[in-house]
Amino acid sequence: MRLLAVMMGCAMAAGAASSDTVLIRDVDVYPVSGAAMKGVSVLIQDGKIADIAARIVAPKGARVVEAKGLRVYPGMIDSGTELGLSEISAVRESVDTGELGEFMPQLRALVAVNPESEHFPVVRVNGITSVMTFPASGGRGGGRFGGGEQQFISGQAALIHTDGWTWEEMEINRSAAMHLIFPSRGGRGGRGGGAPPDAVPEIIPGAAGAAGGANAQRTYLDQIAKISAFFDDARKYQKARTANAPGFHRDLKFEAMIPVLEGKMPVGVSASRASAIHDAIAFAEKQNIKIVILQPREIGKAGAELKAKNIPVILGRVLALPESEDDAYDQSFTLPREAYQAGVKFAFGTFNNEFVRNLPYQAATAVAFGLPYDEALRAVTLSPAEIWGVSDRLGSVEKGKVADLLVTDGDPLEIQTQVKHLYIKGKEIALTNKQTRLYEKYMNR
Amino acid sequence: MRRILLGALVALAPLSAATIVIQNGTIMTVSKGTVKGSVVVKDGKIAEVGEKVMMPQGATVIDAAGQYVIPGIIDCHSHIAADGGINEGSVSVSSMVDIRDVLNPEDIAIYRALAGGVTTANILHGSANAIGGCTLPIKMRWGKDAQGLIFEGATPGIKFALGENPKRAGNPQGRGINGQVQVARYPATRMGIDDTIREAFNEAKAYKAEWDEYQAKTARGEHPIPPRKDLKLEALKEVLEGKRYVHAHCYRADEILMLLRVADDYGFKIRTFQHVLEGYKVAKEIAAHGAGGSTFSDWWSYKVEAFDAIPYNAAIMQKYGVVVSLNSDDAELMRHLNSEAGKVMKYGGLSETEALAMVTLNPAKQLGIDNRVGSIEPGKDADLVIYDKFPLSDYAKVQKVLIDGTVYFDRDKEVSGRAAKQAEKQKLIDKEKQNQQRQQPTRRPGQ
Amino acid sequence: MKKLAAALLLFCAYAVAEAPQAVAIRNARIVTVSGPAIAKGTVVVRNGLIEAVGDNVPVPADAWVVDGEGLTVYPGLIDALSTVGIPGAAPAAAAGGRGAGRGAAPATPTVTAPAPAAQTEPRAWGPEDRPATTSWLLAADEIQATDHRIETVRSAGVTTAATFPTRGIFAGQGSLVDLISGEKAGEMVLVPSVGQYISLSRGGFGGGGGGGGGGFPSSLMGTIAYIRQIYLDAAHYQLVKDAYAHDPRGMRRPEYDRALEGVLESKRILLPANRLVEIDRMLRFAAELKQPAILYGAREAYRPEAAELLKKGGASVLVSLKWPEPPARTADSEDTDTLRTLETRDKAPAAPAALQKAGVKFALYSDGIDQPRDFQRAVKKALDNGLSREDAVRALTLSPAEIYGVADRLGSIEKGKIANLVVTRGEIFDDRTKVEMIFVDGRKYTPAADTTAPGGRGQTTDNPGGNR
């Protein structure tokens, strides 16, 4: 009942969403970038945070939100999803991740984002206002339902807002990262459980086909050589392009690689084990590219190196099973703490559409197992904004930044906390979705 | 690890033998509200709960100051601790198989679940066929043998499955593992699932009649040859006799209603609907039948029949009078059912106690073991979990777990024991390496 | 005489037995197994039987004399679970894969060649279709005296094998055979049926797979349910058959069921059990089925709980000599096995000693280790892990004879018993010890050259269990 009332309130708010100017009054602001400010006002104008001050006079036509006892946080960012690309994970027709082809840097996740996906309203009501959407987040490739062949570069991940009429409107950065699936030495691969029943299992590339022993090692080295060769070819192309010799022919694959080679676009590298991370770093050094490590299962020995080279990490699901029987039961719960203690910059990703709305709770689990709270909150707000190069616009509640804000009745990492108001690019978002509609319908059956 | 672990249990042994008092905690009894006080455990049972209790002589004291005590978590749907596959999917009715036969007390998932506060779980057959195998609840008594896991005296169950999974084998795609042409297995549709269950109970009724007749004859002093005992029909006969609970995997409202009507027609009861993600659409009907609903808090969209799933499902079903539990169906999710319960506070506005009941007392009711477990009340089994913080949250972590008054998990001991475990492992690795090196010179050429 | 023997040896390169009327091995150390060892004594063999044994036994005038100075005579070794003599069979019932621990397959034979049945067996839709069942098969009927493995195995000192069909859930009945290189297989057979070999995998039969594609049973619990149903059916079948035999009038004729006939014929069952969990499970299962059972595999029998359970359950145990070995890995591999697996590899060879200590009746079996040197090394590993040589000999002679109920004719050097002997120079199972000669049914054989050398014929039929 309580919820229903909240929703009805929101529905009314949604009606007023066209208003460009909102004044949130008497609210506690948790900006992430600095200390909390109690009982202040926040002015949203033209999609931006126009002002934060103890007292702000409401501009003409501004809608005033009385928010005593409520809190303002920056919208949360999930650094690993397939949102917009995958609707029902078990249904091939509704899934557009995992294209065929070994090296597909020219693919852009953004253009396949379905703005009408039911997932967007579901995740944003929990305060997730932007996400990285990957062309193959689980490291899958080569046709997720097809051949399942090895894929190395799956395409360009996009940073998008979880609201917008078209993917162009949703775009924050269509080329936020190139996705490289680093080979694995094989052996025990695969993530622990935590997958929904009957879900397509996530597969660590290379693990399945690895014959073990020397074979696996050879395959591993061959695959790295193959990736190097591709990068080398791209570099040759880059030179030829600069020279603009007669007969030069544009190649879309290599064109897509140029921002990577120029160090303008980071490469998101899926690497699970510490040794793979080490090898990925070595590869990045050799190729002189910027990388972000995705979904490591361990930090271990790679920690010092990651810190020294200032390479950020996107931690995968915190709520995951340990890999081996001997691993501590809380291995994945404590990984964020380990990353933090190693001084590694990190953010969280859920890497499964179904769990995106639980991003804050995964961060909370990390807190339970030793990650300082502020770091956890940062890892779903400002840290990802920094990692993806948008901290000038997103990730904190600061004057001049994009007004991606949530107004809550408590700590957003706490399950019971309710989001009372949500703003994406300054627009108040209705806190409704397919699920709330079904709820209302059947509560009143 | 086993050895160390067993060692740890031995070290804890006095705790189980003695009387234990957990004091200064916030005790969420589920059935009798929340009190700040103590729980007294004697002989594996809860002896007393209250703000002030009589401190028995020689009791071992566990100080839970600032901590929370809840009843052991009960997972109504799990597939851990079973060897050799949880699906006998070759046939559409596999009621002859029994999880009891393949319990594996050394499955590490038991220990991990324990570390997540689970003390009892309903170990189910998979969902590959319309009528699956026999099932039973176990306790997470890590270190005991297979028999030692079994929840003594609990009514056994049987798994049914409706919808996409059981019809999958009716629509085989590609070739089998060995490259053989796959033979389609009836049924291929929801219509066929309805029929499969009806056919099975039609047969079971005839079988029951045969046995009833035999027993009647025997009672009259005749000496007839007994009918052939058929394990498949035996289990269904038990369902008809109310001696075996039906736990039915289902998603869509239509199939839930279908099974209710099949049960009505053949005179048996559905004990629980599992997953039951569209249970909210037919909550009235489920409640009228008296079936329970065991669902996920917020999983959805992983398959077509899960696309209408809503996180309000538990709350709506409860509103219509269904006894609702939250289950895991997954060795990972199983480890944080406490925070899953927190989600029904968020998504349905349920109270703390109502939410906690969904992972304790309600599943106990669904499994017919609420006289033994599910709440903190004198006389019940001392299955208790101590959390460092408010437990319906991801900020909470399990500190200690007691089953039958014995401490089976202790986080401090677990953490402090890790170095020794690692050392033992390293010793074995080194030994093996040494052995291999020693043998190298004597290696025959060409090997 | 010695010269004559040597000449004969040269003459018939190998495998041809000498069958003189009588042989006397004198001045040898005799390990009788049933009694104390005789430091210097004589064994007289005649007509395939032991005519006399003792420290003061006269050498018959007609006997060929073997000078046993420096030699030791043991009873012929018995391989308690083998497939020798059944060509194309699985290489003895291998118990599980390499490594061990959680997730390791239950003890199951490794099948090299797919059985013809794999193609022909129709998909089973339930227990009534009797899937993966050839319970009526008798190893004795399958044995071919020409199987080259007979000689290989014999060269390790194995004179007798309990050889089993191993394909399927109810694979068939094993036979106790003497490893003579005869012309007629029938000559080899000591006991045609010693028990039903049961495995918990379909082993070689088509189907399988946990999904819907394969036939019944496709899971461990399905297999167990099937076995349970078979025994219920067998009991009912017997009941109906007896009633019909008693008075057929007015009664429908019971349908002949060869699967049940085969089960009813079997004196005992062999059940696979490697892990402690499996040992517990199979002991309970055997008790439930009310069948005398032998457990095979026993990899985790080193665990005190296992030995205790086995002692309490009163079951006999066949311990696989194929000790778990680490997988081949490159030096830079990061993968380590689990503690459980490591511990199993470390301790498995201590299982025989643990069983001995606990007083469990056990025998050792080759589990596909055919080559004499590998066999010797495998036994040696048990000795290195605490089993006394005396107990090892017993576990390969009198104990298996007792387990199969033939201790009245095999397993020790006693007057009147079958003349199966191994004569070694040095103590048996030592690295440098040589098997000098083997007597099977009184026929003398010399060991074939060890074929484990490179280029030699036939590696063991599976991964050697030797010290690689």
pLDDT attached to residue A244: 87
Taking only the tens place, the pLDDT of each residue in C322-344 is 999 988 765 556 678 999 999 99
Same domain, C437 and C403: no
Same domain, C29 and C114: no
Among B residues 49-108, those touching chain A with beta carbons less than 8 Å apart: 108
Interface contact C212-B89, CB threshold 8 A: yes
Interface contact B231-C228, CB threshold 8 A: yes
pLDDT attached to residue C330: 56
Cα–Cα nearest to C443, from C32, C54, C159: C159
Domains of chain B in start order, with CATH, are 1-71+374-417 (2.30.40.10), 73-373 (3.20.20.140)
pLDDT attached to residue A302: 95
Same domain, C68 and C112: no
* B319 Cα to chain C: minimum distance (Å): 38
Distance of CA A108 to the CA centre of its chain: 16
Sheet holding B324-326, edge to edge: B73-78, B118-123, B131-139, B157-161, B245-250, B272-275, B292-295, B324-326
Question: Is the pLDDT reported for residue C351 higher than 80?
Answer: yes
pLDDT attached to residue A219: 87
Residues 6+ apart with CB under 8 A from B422: none
- Residue C125 covered by a domain: yes
Chain C residue numbers touching B108 (CB-CB < 8 A): 102
Q: Which chains touch C (3 or more CB pairs under 8 A)?
A: A, B
Question: Measured between alpha carbons, how far is C264 from C279 in angstroms, rounded to an integer?
Answer: 24
Assign residue B346 a region: left if phi > 0, alpha if psi is -120 to 50, beta otherwise? alpha
Across the interface, of B86, B125, B432, the residue whose CB is closest to C345 is: B432
Cis peptide bond N-terminal to B14, omega within 30? no
* A328 Cα to chain B: minimum distance (Å): 8
Question: Is the pLDDT reported for residue C72 higher than 50?
Answer: yes
Compute the average pLDDT of residues C196-205.
Answer: 82
With a pLDDT cut of 90, the percent of chain B lying above it is 88
Strand partners, A211: none
pLDDT attached to residue B437: 81
Question: Is the pLDDT reported for residue B4 higher than 50?
Answer: no
Interface contact C330-A213, CB threshold 8 A: yes
Same domain, C193 and C259: yes
- Of the two residues B283 and A194, the one the predictor is more confident about is B283
Domain containing C44 — which CATH number? Answer: 2.30.40.10
Compute the average pLDDT of residues B345-361.
Answer: 97
CA end-to-end span of chain B, whole Å? Answer: 34
Interface contact C333-A187, CB threshold 8 A: yes
Same domain, C391 and C265: yes
Among B residues 33-52, those touching chain C with beta carbons less than 8 Å apart: none
Asked if the interface predicted TM-score (ipTM) of this complex is over 0.85, the answer is yes
User: Residue A248 to residues A104, A238, A239, A244, C52: CA-CA distances in angstroms?
Assistant: 21, 11, 11, 6, 99
Say yes or no: C149 contacts chain B, CB-CB below 8 A: no
Same domain, C299 and C360: yes
User: Residue B172 to residues A296, B188, B189, B354: CA-CA distances in angstroms?
Assistant: 36, 9, 13, 43
pLDDT attached to residue B216: 98
Domain total of chain C:
2
Domains of chain A in start order, with CATH, are 18-74 (2.30.40.10), 76-394 (3.20.20.140)
- Residue C459 covered by a domain: no
Same domain, C285 and C141: yes
pLDDT band at B99 (very low <50, low <70, confident <90, very high): very high
Chain B residue numbers touching C455 (CB-CB < 8 A): 446
Cα–Cα nearest to C321, from C373, C264, C256: C373
Say yes or no: C331 contacts chain A, CB-CB below 8 A: no
The size of the A-B interface in CB pairs under 8 A is 142
- Residue C132 covered by a domain: yes
For A443, nearest residue in chain B (alpha carbons): B316
Same domain, C276 and C223: yes
The average confidence (pLDDT) of chain A is: 88
* B218 Cα to chain A: minimum distance (Å): 48
For A193, nearest residue in chain B (alpha carbons): B332
The size of the B-C interface in CB pairs under 8 A is 179
Chain C residue numbers touching B172 (CB-CB < 8 A): 212-213
Interface contact A187-C332, CB threshold 8 A: no
Interface contact A275-C334, CB threshold 8 A: yes
Across the interface, of A188, A212, A326, the residue whose CB is closest to C327 is: A212
pLDDT attached to residue C109: 39
Counting beta carbons within 10 angstroms of the beta carbon of residue A196, is it exposed (0 to 12), middle (13 to 18) or buried (19 or more)? buried
CB burial of C437-448 (b: ≥16 within 10 Å; e: otherwise) equals: bbbbbbbbbbbb
Say yes or no: B252 contacts chain A, CB-CB below 8 A: no
Interface contact B395-A414, CB threshold 8 A: yes
* B433 Cα to chain C: minimum distance (Å): 10
Say yes or no: B178 contacts chain C, CB-CB below 8 A: yes
Say yes or no: C101 contacts chain A, CB-CB below 8 A: yes
* C338 Cα to chain A: minimum distance (Å): 6
Interface contact B301-A3, CB threshold 8 A: no
Compute the average pLDDT of residues B211-230.
Answer: 97
Question: Measured between alpha carbons, how far is B118 from A326 in angstroms, rounded to an integer?
Answer: 20
Taking only the tens place, the pLDDT of each residue in C126-180 is 999 999 999 999 999 999 988 889 999 999 999 999 999 999 999 999 999 999 9
pLDDT attached to residue C212: 36
Question: Measured between alpha carbons, how far is B348 from B311 in angstroms, rounded to an integer?
Answer: 8
Say yes or no: B146 contacts chain C, CB-CB below 8 A: yes
Taking only the tens place, the pLDDT of each residue in C206-219 is 444 433 346 899 99
Same domain, C51 and C115: no
Say yes or no: B298 contacts chain A, CB-CB below 8 A: yes
Residue C301 one-letter amino acid? A
Say yes or no: B228 contacts chain C, CB-CB below 8 A: yes
Say yes or no: C335 contacts chain A, CB-CB below 8 A: yes
Interface contact A217-C332, CB threshold 8 A: yes
Taking only the tens place, the pLDDT of each residue in A103-140 is 999 999 999 999 999 999 999 999 999 999 999 854 44
Say yes or no: C327 contacts chain A, CB-CB below 8 A: yes
Chain B residue numbers touching C284 (CB-CB < 8 A): 147
pLDDT attached to residue B183: 83
Interface contact B101-C281, CB threshold 8 A: yes
Question: Measured between alpha carbons, how far is C44 from C21 in angstroms, rounded to an integer?
Answer: 11
Distance of CA A185 to the CA centre of its chain: 26
Strand partners, B438: none
Say yes or no: A8 contacts chain B, CB-CB below 8 A: no
- Residue C171 covered by a domain: yes
A350 and A359 in contact (C-beta within 8 Å)? yes
pLDDT attached to residue A10: 45
Task: Give the dihedral of Cα atoms B344, B350, B354, B355; nearest 10 deg.
Answer: 20
pLDDT attached to residue C102: 33
Same domain, C5 and C129: no
- Residue C420 covered by a domain: yes
Distance of CA B260 to the CA centre of its chain: 23
DSSP B346-373: HHH---HHHHHHTTTHHHHHHTT-TTTS
Compute the average pLDDT of residues C374-395.
Answer: 97
Q: Which two tokens stand for residue B117?
A: 């506060």
Same domain, C52 and C141: no
Q: Are strands B272-275 and B292-295 parallel, antiparallel or unpaired?
A: parallel
Interface contact B111-A329, CB threshold 8 A: yes
* C176 Cα to chain B: minimum distance (Å): 32
Question: Is the pLDDT reported for residue B23 higher than 60?
Answer: yes
Cα–Cα nearest to C404, from C134, C117, C79: C79
Chain B residue numbers touching A89 (CB-CB < 8 A): 301-303
Same domain, C187 and C322: yes
The average confidence (pLDDT) of chain C is: 85
Taking only the tens place, the pLDDT of each residue in C288-332 is 999 999 999 999 999 999 999 999 999 999 999 999 998 876 555
pLDDT attached to residue C104: 36
Range of the domain at C35: 1-75+413-450
Across the interface, of A89, A197, A416, the residue whose CB is closest to B301 is: A89
Residues 6+ apart with CB under 8 A from B230: B96, B207, C229
- Residue C84 covered by a domain: yes
Say yes or no: C218 contacts chain B, CB-CB below 8 A: yes
Interface contact B183-C225, CB threshold 8 A: no
Domain containing C190 — which CATH number? Answer: 3.20.20.140
Write out chain A's pLDDT in tens, 445 residues.
444 444 444 444 444 444 589 999 999 999 999 999 999 999 999 999 999 999 999 999 999 999 999 999 999 999 999 999 999 999 989 999 989 999 999 999 999 999 999 999 999 999 999 999 999 854 444 444 444 567 899 999 999 999 999 999 999 999 999 999 999 876 433 332 333 333 333 323 333 333 455 677 888 899 999 999 999 999 999 999 999 888 899 999 999 999 999 999 999 999 999 999 999 999 999 999 999 999 999 999 999 999 999 999 999 999 999 989 999 999 999 999 999 999 999 999 999 999 999 999 999 999 999 999 999 999 999 999 999 999 999 999 999 999 999 999 999 999 999 999 999 999 999 999 999 999 999 999 8
Cα–Cα nearest to C178, from C419, C448, C362: C419
DSSP C123-163: PP-SGGG-TTB-TT-BHHHH--TT-THHHHHHHTTEEEEEE
Across the interface, of C102, C221, C345, the residue whose CB is closest to B107 is: C102
- Residue C345 covered by a domain: yes
CA end-to-end span of chain A, whole Å? Answer: 15
Residues 6+ apart with CB under 8 A from B17: none
Among A residues 201-260, those touching chain B with beta carbons less than 8 Å apart: none
Q: Which two tokens stand for residue C400?
A: 């298996």
- Residue C257 covered by a domain: yes
The average confidence (pLDDT) of chain B is: 93
